[in-house]
């Protein structure tokens, strides 16, 4: 039997083509692998000092997961807690932290730049003493407020004005952070507070009524944002992208792994009642508190700014002086999120 020379040549050509394609594929995969390793090498071994704007609270479990994700990449993350957004900003300005979680008014008034979100949606609720039934009942009563200048105080006044109660007709007492305000309400020192997270659920379980909520009154307002000095961002863009990616990855984790969320919440918050934790998880999930796309866009950031500006809480400054989207946009690109 004679071999067909044409078929032999075709087979040889085909084999060479397959070999060349295989080598090209290996080369391409190697390039991507090296690029991926290079990205990891950029942040591995680096130190990131993080300050949260609240004492341990289950609502910050999302942020705690972000920290774990960063540590899994080899970043040495050092965490401190500040009871109030203004204190978190002070820690950054004093050089005690690189990034912090705080509300936009604190960010702008502190001369910092927001670059990602710690709590994409504002979940504050107004909780009151049991004898208060309507907003009108607050006339002449005492409102336990956050530190002076905090966004929640601006929100409080705006909501009361919206419901026909001038802020001048209530008594304002500065209490401090979320936990301190909740304790003041329980002790009967104030008649109403704005609160969130497990403190909110504990008060609700104890029979304190919810008068209203920010999602109901002022939908679309961001809560805590990750912020830093502009100089730090300019020098540490790789870490800023890593933080933004951690936000997106934590959002997916929150949605897909509720049992891990509950476990982490229990580890971070001493004495956390698991029924309270489960209820909080359900509330946050129903609110879509952590959208998979990160939520942060020019429109959402400006909506929050415009609200604060209208209330006189922040000066009129261009967005590029107090916020940047480039790290979040890069994070979305690297993770294939639109």
Residues 146 and 226 in one domain: no
| Same domain, yes or no: 229 and 100 | yes
pLDDT attached to residue 39: 45
Q: Which DSSP category does 323 fall into?
A: B
First to last CA, the chain: 61
Residue where a domain terminates, one of 167, 200, 217: 217
Let me know whether 117 and 154 are in one domain.
no
Answer yes or no: do 241 and 315 share one domain: yes
Same domain, 88 and 114: yes
Number of domains observed in the structure of the chain: 2
Q: Over the stretch 133-188, which tens digit does the pLDDT of each residue have?
A: 999 999 999 999 998 878 889 999 999 999 999 999 999 999 998 899 999 999 99
Q: Do 179 and 312 belong together in one domain?
A: no
Which are the contacts of 243, defined by CB distance < 8 A and separation ≥ 6?
48, 66, 70, 99, 115, 116, 226, 327
If one counts every other C-beta atom within 10 angstroms of the C-beta of residue 45, the result is: 9
Average pLDDT over every residue of 106-117:
96
Task: Specify the pLDDT at position 102.
Answer: 92
Whether residues 93 and 203 fall in one domain: no
φ, ψ (nearest 5 deg) of residue 180: -65, -40
Over residues 295-303, the mean pLDDT reads: 93
**pLDDT of residue 316 exceeding 60:** yes
Are residues 225 and 311 part of one domain? yes
pLDDT at position 5 over 90: no
What CATH number does residue 100 fall under?
A: 3.40.190.10
Q: Is residue 213 part of a domain?
A: yes
pLDDT at 198 over 90: no
Neighbours of 254 (CB within 10 A): 20
For residues 206 and 66, membership in a common domain is answered with no
Instruction: Look at residue 337 in the predicted model and tell me its pLDDT.
Output: 95
Is the per-residue pLDDT at 1 higher than 80? no
Determine, yes or no, domain membership for 19.
no
Short-list 131, 126, 185, CA closest to 159? 126
Given 190, 217, 244, which residue is the final one in a domain? 217
Residue 126: pLDDT band (50, 70, 90) is very high
Q: Do 251 and 130 fall within a single domain? A: no
Q: Are strands 99-102 and 47-52 parallel, antiparallel or unpaired?
A: parallel
Whether residue 57 lies inside any domain: the answer is yes
Question: For the residues 203-219, what does the mean pLDDT come to?
Answer: 91
What is the percentage of the chain residues whose pLDDT exceeds 70? Answer: 88
Evaluate whether residue 180 is within a structural domain. yes
Whether 307 and 254 share a structural domain:
yes
What pLDDT, on the 0 to 100 scale, is given for residue 22? 42
Task: Show the beta-strand stretches assigned E in the chain.
Answer: 47-52, 76-81, 99-102, 113-117, 125-128, 142-145, 171-174, 192-195, 210-213, 225-228
Q: Which residue has better confidence, 37 or 241?
A: 241
Domain boundaries, position 140: 125-217
85 pLDDT tier (thresholds 50, 70, 90) = confident
Q: Are residues 192 and 165 in the same domain?
A: yes
In this structure, is residue 318 part of a structural domain?
yes
Tell me, what DSSP letter sits at residue 318?
Answer: -
Instruction: Identify the band that residue 267 occupies on the pLDDT scale cut at 50, 70 and 90.
Output: very high
Cα–Cα dist 64/32, whole Å: 30
Would residue 285 count as lying in a domain?
yes
Domain end residue (candidates: 197, 217, 237): 217
pLDDT score for 216? 86
2, part of any domain: no
Asked if residue 13 is part of any domain, the answer here is: no
Average pLDDT, the chain: 87
């Amino acid at each position: 039997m004679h071999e067909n020379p044409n078929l032999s040549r075709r087979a040889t050509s085909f084999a060479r083509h397959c070999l060349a394609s295989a080598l090209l594929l290996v080369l391409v995969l190697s390039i991507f692998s090296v690029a991926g390793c290079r990205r990891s090498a950029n942040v591995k071994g680096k130190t990131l000092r993080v300050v949260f704007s609240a004492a341990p609270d289950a609502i910050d479990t999302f942020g705690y997961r972000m920290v774990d994700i960063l540590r899994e990449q080899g970043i040495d993350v050092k965490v401190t807690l500040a009871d109030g957004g203004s204190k978190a900003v002070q820690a950054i300005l004093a050089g005690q932290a690189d990034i912090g979680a705080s509300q936009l008014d604190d960010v702008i008034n502190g001369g910092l730049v927001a670059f990602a979100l710690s709590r994409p949606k504002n979940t504050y609720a107004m909780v009151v003493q049991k004898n208060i039934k309507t907003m009108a009942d607050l006339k002449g009563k005492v409102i336990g407020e956050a530190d002076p200048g905090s966004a929640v105080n601006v929100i409080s006044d705006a909501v009361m004005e919206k419901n026909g109660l001038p802020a001048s007709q209530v008594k304002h007492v500065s209490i401090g952070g979320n936990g301190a305000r909740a304790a003041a309400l329980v002790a009967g020192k104030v008649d109403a507070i704005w609160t969130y997270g497990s403190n909110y659920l504990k008060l609700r379980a104890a029979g304190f009524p919810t008068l209203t909520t920010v999602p109901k009154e002022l939908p679309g307002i961001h809560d805590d944002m990750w912020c830093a000095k502009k100089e730090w961002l300019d020098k540490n863009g790789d870490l800023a992208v890593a933080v933004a990616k951690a936000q997106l990855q934590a959002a997916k984790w929150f949605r897909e792994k509720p049992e891990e969320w509950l476990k982490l919440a229990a580890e971070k918050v001493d004495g956390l009642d698991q029924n309270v934790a489960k209820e909080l998880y359900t509330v946050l999930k129903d609110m879509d508190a952590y959208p998979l796309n990160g939520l942060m866009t020019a429109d959402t950031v400006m909506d929050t700014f415009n609200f604060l500006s209208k209330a006189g809480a922040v000066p009129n400054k261009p967005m590029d002086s107090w916020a940047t989207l480039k790290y979040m946009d890069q994070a979305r690109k690297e993770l294939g999120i639109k």
